[in-house]
Amino acid sequence: MLRKLLPRSAFGQLALLIGSVLLINQLVSYVTVAVYVIKPTTLQLNELMGRQINQLFVDGLEFAPDRPTVVEALRAKTRDDELQIYTLQQARDLGVEQATYYGFLSDQMSIQLGGEADVRITSGVQYWVWVRPPQAPSIWIRIPLPGMSDSNISPLTLYLLVIGVLSVAGGWLFARQQSRPLRRLQKAAMDVSRGNYPNPLPLQGSAEVEEVTKAFNKMSSSMKQLEQDRALLMAGISHDLRTPLTRIRLASEMMSEQDEYLQQGIAHDIEDMDEIINQFIAFIRTDHHDNLVQCTLAELTREIAKAEAHRIEELELTIDSEQPVLANPVAIKRVIANLVENAHRYGKGWIAIRVWDDGDFSFVQISDNGPGIDSNKLEELFQPFTQGDTARGSVGSGLGLAIVRRIVVSHGGHVSLTNRQEGGLSATVRLPFSRTTSN
């Protein structure tokens, strides 16, 4: 449970570490100042006040007609306003009951005065110490603490607060600076996974991060070169195949009428080979992320549905969202058209297309009523040169869904296949909303 609450990112962990160290430092500083500075000073003041109070009772109390009470007798012995004597009622009226009681000061004062004493402190514009001595429990003695007030304490509190805020801000900036190369590396890795190869990343951060960045730059460069070599190889093969196919097509056109059935078979085979070559070219293309504009899946789906309506027996189109996405319209239309073609090829004449959104992503789903596919093999269909099982047939080169996934992933989206409970297959494409639009 505790592991789930702790941050998992490097920035969060580093910030937590620095914050914890600063907090411990503040606590240790507070305890150190309280124990070795404030407490000794307070006890020393308490001892001085105890001596003053003891001095009042050293020679006893002299009662006279003009000072018949303890309060009046003690007031007569005080030379100035350092010690102010009050009855219990007078002390209550002046707020002694609202004053803060301090046990350790009371214990020390009790030892000095030789009996149980009560020490309280009132804070505010002026600090006052209230003492009820054991020699005269019916009175309160109030002693001012000159130079002590809330206005004197507030600068210290402000200083500690500013130091704490600056320490936390400095720790946050340090952690952010340390994690920035990692975030840059994460973004670059996501780009590479989508087929976009960024420029070499700058070498920043700690020595370990720089080494990881160097390794990533080298890996990205190697993958980019490998991708270019593969594209060049497949493009060369596709180009070289078109020349003999053209010659075969011309030769078949010159065949006699008696061989018309053979000519039609050759023409059909050439068309299939052309389609396979076109799929090869589409698969090796890496410009799906270029020419991005705002468009809607609803608009692109309507165009595909209109073009396919004449050859599909029953086509259901449901549009529940017009939310724009940032995409290459030609590439996304190729995705939708490919999925519709698969549904038409393997279905039984019924296709349902639905467009909707969930507040963050736009979805388009193409469903058919065909035989479906083993759920354990659904993910395999997105691999190049992989076809469905015999239940769905085995027409084509096996590149269609691989091209679909490549295009969708390059747009930051996701594509998945699921079997319908009613029978058949559903293909769902998810694309993020355009960042320039307000949700």
Report how far residue 439's alpha carbon sits from residue 431's, in angstroms, rounded to the nearest whole number: 14
One domain for residues 142 and 234: no
Domain count, the chain: 3
Q: Which two tokens stand for residue 70?
A: 């303890």
Report how far residue 298's alpha carbon sits from residue 426's, in angstroms, rounded to the nearest whole number: 18
Domain boundary among 230, 257, 284: 284
One domain for residues 270 and 406: no
Residues 6+ apart with CB under 8 A from 430: 361, 362, 363, 408, 413, 414, 415
Buried b (16+ CB within 10 A) or exposed e, 98-133: ebeebeebbebbbebbeeebbbbbbeeeebbbbbbb
Could you tell me if residue 353 is inside a domain?
Answer: yes
Report how far residue 372's alpha carbon sits from residue 346's, in angstroms, rounded to the nearest whole number: 9
One domain for residues 300 and 251: no
Helix (H, G, I), strand (E, B) or coil at 140: strand
pLDDT at 3 over 80: no
Could you tell me if residue 350 is inside a domain?
Answer: yes
Could you tell me if residue 299 is inside a domain?
Answer: yes
Q: Which domain holds residue 378?
A: 293-432
Please give the mean pLDDT across all residues of the chain: 78
Domain boundary among 99, 129, 149: 149
- Tens-digit pLDDT profile for residues 162-186: 777 777 777 777 777 777 888 888 8
Three-state secondary structure string covering 105-126: HHHHHHHHHCCCCEEEEECCCC
Could you tell me if residue 424 is inside a domain?
Answer: yes
pLDDT at 439 over 70: no
> Average pLDDT for residues 325-344, to the nearest whole number?
88
One domain for residues 83 and 108: yes
pLDDT confidence bin for 285, thresholds 50/70/90: low
pTM: 0.47
Q: Look up the CATH number of the domain holding residue 336.
A: 3.30.565.10
pLDDT, position 390: 44
The beta-carbon contacts of 174-178 under 8 Å, at least 24 apart in sequence, are 174/14, 174/18, 175/11, 175/14, 175/15, 175/18, 176/11, 178/10, 178/11, 178/14, 178/205, 178/206
Per DSSP (E only), the strands in 9-102 are: 84-87, 100-101
pLDDT, position 391: 41
Cα separations in angstroms, 312 against 259, 300, 307, 375: 33, 18, 10, 26
> Average pLDDT for residues 33-50, to the nearest whole number?
74
pLDDT, position 436: 46
